Amino acid sequence: MNIPIFGYSAKVSPASSGPAQFFPISRDLLNPFIYNTPSNVTEQYTECLKQLELGTPITLCETFKTIKRIVTASTKAASENNSIENFFVFYILSSGLIDDLSDLLTILDSSWDTFPLQVHVINLSGPNLNTEDLDTMRFQEQTMKINLHRAGWLQYNVHYYDRIKFKYGNDDDAIDQALVQLSE
């Protein structure tokens, strides 16, 4: 099975004047899909990272707007064709910083509540980032309210990689297994 994997907030070429806010790691805008095997995903991700320069600001609004367009188009097509609707799960690997957090929370209006979609933000920040700087914590606080009061289910989730590592110690196989369980 092929899956699309996207990046955000990075310069995709040396000639870029600023960071691209949403780009496929396949580096092919017309075909963002890559074959879904751990070795291939790792290879594609590694090759993409070699060609990127991480950029600031770190923004997610464009990523979420694109997610909304994808889900809306898919849901509409399924409805028009009387076919089975897809369910989408998006994983966002985060440094812990979200520079457009207030704008992001504004675009997560009630129109998102009925989408067949779940968002998982994986916070990869290290211990050198102060807790008060963790925008993903504020994202979690605000989206938990949305989960409880509007959506009625865990549509938005934040996971902390260091907690996953702490729970499983230095057992790489157990950590890998825990991350696989997140995706199921």
Whether 31 is in a domain gets the answer no
Whether 32 is in a domain gets the answer no
Whether 45 is in a domain gets the answer no
130's tokens: 């102060």
Whether 111 is in a domain gets the answer yes
> Using one digit for the tens of pLDDT, what is the confidence trace for 113-164?
888 889 988 887 766 666 666 788 889 999 998 888 887 888 988 887 765 5
What's the count of helices (H) and strands (E) in the chain, helices before strands?
6, 9
Whether 21 is in a domain gets the answer no
Residue type, 90: F
Count up the domains in the chain and report the number: 1
Give me the chain's average pLDDT, please.
Answer: 82
Whether 48 is in a domain gets the answer no
Low-confidence ranges of the chain (pLDDT < 50): none
Beta bridge partners of 53: 11
Q: Which domain holds residue 152?
A: 85-184
Axis-axis angle for helices 161-168, 172-183 (nearest 10): 130
Whether 25 is in a domain gets the answer no
Whether 9 is in a domain gets the answer no
How confident is the model at residue 104, as a pLDDT?
A: 95
Entry pTM: 0.76
